[in-house]
Amino acid sequence: MSKIEMALRAAEKLPPEMQEQLAENLLHYVDRYLALRDEIDIGIAQLDRGEFIDGETVFAELRAKFGA
């Protein structure tokens, strides 16, 4: 039995309102994870195309903006 199957079986023992909250939280985290993966894939594709700003430039811009 997989961990997800074990978690679902355990969740079935919870009161309905807790099951709903758990499902809502799980969906939220899965959506955030998938969105992060999409953003990472976009960033990797940009790097592969040579579309990036080197670190020294980024930190210089931050110092100029925030006066550090």
List, as one string, the DSSP characters of 8-47. Answer: HHHHTTS-HHHHHHHHHHHHHHHHHHHHHHHHHHHHHHHH
Global pTM reads 0.69
Q: Rounded to an integer, what distance in angstroms lies between the CA atom of residue 47 and that of residue 54?
A: 11
pLDDT number for residue 67: 86
- CA dist 47 and 28 (Å) reads 29
Is the pLDDT reported for residue 40 higher than 90?
A: yes
> Within its chain, how far is the Cα of 40 from the centroid?
9
Read off the pLDDT of each residue in 31-35 and give the average, rounded to a whole number.
98
Whether 10 has a pLDDT exceeding 90, the answer reads yes
Query: Does pLDDT of 2 surpass 80?
Result: yes
Above pLDDT 90, what percent of the chain? 97
Averaged pLDDT, 20-37:
98
